[in-house]
Amino acid sequence: MTNVVIGAGSGMGAATARLLARRGRLIAADRNLEAVEKLAADIGGDVVPLACDVTDQAQIDAVVAEIGELDAIVHAAGISGSMGTGRQILEVNLRGMARMLASVEPLLRPGSVGVLFASMSGHRVPQHQQLNDILDDPLADDFFDAIAGIGIDLDMGHGSYPASKLGVQRMARRLAPAWGAKGARILSVSPGINDTPMNRLDEERNPIMLDFIAAGPLGRRGTPAEVASVVEFLTSDGASFMTGTDILVDGGMVAVIPEDSTGGAIKAS
Ligand SMILES: NC(=O)c1ccc[n+]([C@@H]2O[C@H](COP(=O)([O-])OP(=O)(O)OC[C@H]3O[C@@H](n4cnc5c(N)ncnc54)[C@H](O)[C@@H]3O)[C@@H](O)[C@H]2O)c1
């Protein structure tokens, strides 16, 4: 039995890998091979570090070939609005994840669990039916044309990041029946502002985030361990009746700052 964490090289993926490694064999994959090699050496035990860029189908196939009996797959790999163009963000966060999930599908068996990293920003995208339809077919040939066609700027990250994360939340809901038919469960988890290298970069570029943090009910960032412990639960038998839904782990932020996360890039329609 194997647990898999994609994006295990840093932040919340690394924290999740540390917890799941206690269950036995773990594949820790990341586009940053050095980071997962370091993590594996640090954790010890049966941790297999693998290079995997989720935008490259051959690298995905190489990881899937190593899995064997799939226990849980946690997909944490992602880039934020300050780390790439809109096109790159959608390619990694949504299309890369869709490719990975399609590739592990033949391995699903009773008890397998998938946990997909979304974001609280996905909860704050204005309702837009056409956008939902586009996000629900992320590997379509005309995906980027369709995204651009509704006015999302593919050079800028601010609309694409929340859209990619709404797409992840919808993916967990959409795939639940097919996974359930195999006795498997799939969920998304939506962190709020979490103290990771990604977030530190975002805060440097958008200092207004410090006001959001202060305004949140808990008045602080989450820690990677606080999200990893939720993922550990979701992948355990204790969550055996949970599937097809999103779990918000945001310290109550969406409750107090419910407004548009796209900065007007997506208008309700
Ligand atoms: N930090 C936050 O505040 C926050 C909030 C909400 C959601 N998230 C989401 O949680 C997830 C984890 O974020 P984090 O803050 O721990 O980030 P992080 O930057 O610390 O770690 C992300 C990891 O993903 C890897 N990665 C990036 N692109 C990849 C690719 N193409 N293929 C394979 N690996 C790739 C990176 O190398 C890195 O090791 C992301 O999906 C992120 O969007 C983060």
Per-10-residue mean pLDDT, the chain, length 269 = 98 98 98 98 97 98 98 98 94 98 98 98 94 98 96 89 97 98 98 94 90 94 98 98 98 88 80
Q: Which two tokens stand for residue 193?
A: 């502002």
Nearest CA to ligand 1 atom 2: 194
Written as six digits, the tokens of 195 are 């103290």
pLDDT number for residue 145: 97
Candidate from 30, 52, 56, 188 with most ligand 1 atoms within 8 A of CB, to mutate: 30
pLDDT given for residue 266 in this prediction: 80
36: three-class secondary structure by DSSP: helix
Q: How far is the CA of 11 from the centre of ligand 1 (A)?
A: 7
Pocket test for ligand 1, best of 5, 12, 253 (most atoms within 8 A of CB): 12
Establish whether residue 265 lines the binding site of ligand 1, counting it when its CB lies within 6 angstroms of any ligand atom: no
> What pLDDT does 232 receive?
98
The kind and range of the H/E element at 171 are helix 157-180
In this structure, the strands spanning 2-6 and 26-30 are parallel
140 C-alpha to ligand 1 centroid (Å):
24
Task: Identify the pLDDT of residue 251.
Answer: 97
Residue 219: its pLDDT value, please? 96
- What is the per-residue pLDDT for 192? 97
Give CA separation, 55 vs 88, 205, 208, 254, in Å.
9, 26, 31, 30
CA distance 12 to 14: 5
Query: Is 92 touching ligand 1 by the criterion CB < 6 Å?
Result: yes
With a 6 A CB cut-off, is 31 part of the ligand 1 pocket? yes
Q: What is the pLDDT of residue 264?
A: 80
Rounded to whole angstroms, the Cα distance separating 34 from 144 reads: 32
At residue 144, the pLDDT reads: 98
Alpha helix locations (H) across 3-106? 11-20, 33-43, 57-67, 86-90, 97-104
The tally of CA atoms less than 13 A away on the side-chain side of residue 53 is 6
Q: 269 CA distance to ligand 1 centroid (A)?
A: 30
Contact 5 CB / ligand 1 (< 6 Å): no
Q: Say if pTM beats, i.e. exceeds, 0.75.
A: yes
- Mutation test residue for ligand 1: of 32, 75, 196, 212, the one with most atoms within 8 Å of CB: 196
